[in-house]
Amino acid sequence: MTLLRIGRTLPPAAAPMYLKDIASGISGLFRGGQTVKKFEAELKAYYQIRHCFTVSSGKTALTLILQSLKLMHPERDEVLIPAFTCYSVPSAIIRAGLRIRLCDVDMNTFDFDYAQLSHILSGENNRLLCILPAHLFGLPVDVARIRTLIAGKDVVIVEDAAQAMGAESEGKKLGTLGDVGFFSLGRGKALSTVEGGIIITGRDDIAEQLGRTVNEMRDYGAFELVKLFLYAVALMLLLRPSLFWLPKSLPFLRLGETIFDPNFTMRKMSAFQAGLARGWENKLEFLKKKRSENVRGLLERLKSRQSWVDMGVLPDLIRLPLRVDSAIRRASILSSSEKLGLGIASTYPDSIDRIPELKTRFETINYPAAKKNAELLLTLPIHTYMTPNDLDRIAELLQNEECPT
């Protein structure tokens, strides 16, 4: 694993950072609070929604949403999430002092397993505060169906669009389908400001409580801003395939690791980050277009393979998920990709019920599809640093792996 490979190395996901972004970040910082206000106004216009709050990360956004909902419904404390999702989600729930409830997922769409979801929702439960559908990799899930299932119940839909900024489904923007939605601007998401989170909601009651909760948070300190700046410079230089081998070889950066940790720092978004985002609508469109060209390019090259996607309308993905048929095959593909620097990655290490720190909280229910996804899923890179030659090499690797030697 700790083999040092110097040479073209693709990151699994990347939203590039340019010198002009950093320049905008610095000038944003000098303009101060109005830079953040402007970013929020642009977001409200883009999403055609009344309320928007910007913070330091997706998990901060989720924590603040949950804390606000808890204050609005003190008698309820359960948050229902997919058993296969990012570890930041349970981290935020624990941070907010709430309880995690799980539902298994559909192996192909990563949406809830609706048989299990109907069963969970049919039970008498007046502790359920909210339910969190997640558009993993940008693949849209059926929020309307959840809305139908909870009709008549006062359960809030919190849409986890962390990986789906700018993505659409049937002409509707993801993030606007629930009662309240959030996005991540972290490294490797659809758009990045080093770190960052966005909350949007059309519900005045939720926004009113959120406004108070967000206001109680601290701003980034001077030292933290310097760190953000240095991180932005590092991303600008080191995300490029010619240099990505360098950060990848530094274990303390823990690149690509998903960790469960409720003790993360929560801040309001800084003017530096809002400045980094300047011109984000155009950048997002450009990145989206390039990524979807790469998705199409890969699917064409892999045409022999059955994919989760029906080739009708392609979703707006940030990585291309692909399930293989055995854990051994996956390990072999990952190790070849590692040697060749092709950026193929695994996803979350395990289903949420099997996170060591959380294990004791769950009954002995199994979440087989979530577990299978954690074992068998790969993602292929589709970011803007990819060249047609990279697509060829990935397709070739997967084709070769198909016939075991």
Q: Which is nearer to ligand PLP, 64 or 86 (CB)?
A: 86
Under rule CB under 6 A, residue 160 binds ligand PLP = yes
Q: Which is nearer to ligand PLP, 166 or 197 (CB)?
A: 197
CB of 403 to ligand PLP, least distance (A): 34
Under rule CB under 6 A, residue 159 binds ligand PLP = no
Among 69, 320, 94, CA closest to 182: 69
Answer for which of 54, 163, 201, 373 binds ligand PLP (CB under 6 A) is 163
Under rule CB under 6 A, residue 88 binds ligand PLP = yes
Rounded alpha-carbon distances, angstroms, from residue 309 to 67, 183, 320, 359: 36, 23, 10, 33
Alpha carbons 235 and 70: distance in angstroms, whole number: 37
CB of 196 to ligand PLP, least distance (A): 7
Under rule CB under 6 A, residue 270 binds ligand PLP = no
Query: Binding residues for ligand PLP, how many (CB under 6 A)?
Result: 15
Q: Which is nearer to ligand PLP, 185 or 397 (CB)?
A: 185
Report the residue number whose CB is nearest to ligand PLP.
58
Under rule CB under 6 A, residue 302 binds ligand PLP = no
Distance of CA 123 to the CA centre of its chain: 30
Q: Which helix (H) or strand (E) holds 81?
A: strand 78-82
Under rule CB under 6 A, residue 184 binds ligand PLP = yes
Answer for which of 12, 25, 58, 90 binds ligand PLP (CB under 6 A) is 58
Among 81, 87, 84, 21, CA closest to 373: 84
Under rule CB under 6 A, residue 395 binds ligand PLP = no
Q: Tokens 């303390």 map to which residue?
A: 252
Alpha carbons 320 and 40: distance in angstroms, whole number: 30
Report strand pairing: 168-169 vs 197-201: unpaired
Q: Which is nearer to ligand PLP, 9 or 184 (CB)?
A: 184
Q: Which is nearer to ligand PLP, 140 or 186 (CB)?
A: 186
Rounded alpha-carbon distances, angstroms, from residue 8 to 5, 16, 227, 360, 388: 9, 16, 27, 43, 14
Distance of CA 251 to the CA centre of its chain: 22
Question: Across-strand partners of 81?
Answer: 102
Answer for which of 11, 12, 138, 186 binds ligand PLP (CB under 6 A) is 186
Under rule CB under 6 A, residue 134 binds ligand PLP = yes
Answer for which of 9, 54, 57, 337 binds ligand PLP (CB under 6 A) is 57
Among 100, 101, 87, CA closest to 59: 87
Q: Which is nearer to ligand PLP, 43 or 397 (CB)?
A: 43
Q: Which is nearer to ligand PLP, 35 or 57 (CB)?
A: 57
Under rule CB under 6 A, residue 193 binds ligand PLP = no
Q: Which helix (H) or strand (E) holds 14?
A: none
Among 160, 129, 126, 127, CA closest to 143: 160
Q: Which is nearer to ligand PLP, 100 or 340 (CB)?
A: 100
Among 184, 242, 197, CA closest to 53: 197
Under rule CB under 6 A, residue 197 binds ligand PLP = yes
CB of 165 to ligand PLP, least distance (A): 11
Answer for which of 85, 192, 209, 347 binds ligand PLP (CB under 6 A) is 85
Under rule CB under 6 A, residue 8 binds ligand PLP = no
364, exposed or middle or buried, with CB in 10 Å at 0-12, 13-18, 19+? Answer: exposed
Answer for which of 59, 267, 283, 288 binds ligand PLP (CB under 6 A) is 59
Tokens of 364: 């002995």
Identify which range of 33-41, 82-90, 298-306, 332-340 contacts ligand PLP by CB under 6 A: 82-90
Alpha carbons 298 and 293: distance in angstroms, whole number: 9
- On whether the CB atoms of residues 140 and 167 are closer than 8 A, the answer is yes
Identify which range of 142-150, 158-166, 227-235, 240-248 contacts ligand PLP by CB under 6 A: 158-166
Tokens of 289: 């277009």
Give the binding site for ligand PLP (CB under 6 A).
57-59, 85-86, 88-89, 134, 136, 160, 162-163, 184, 186, 197
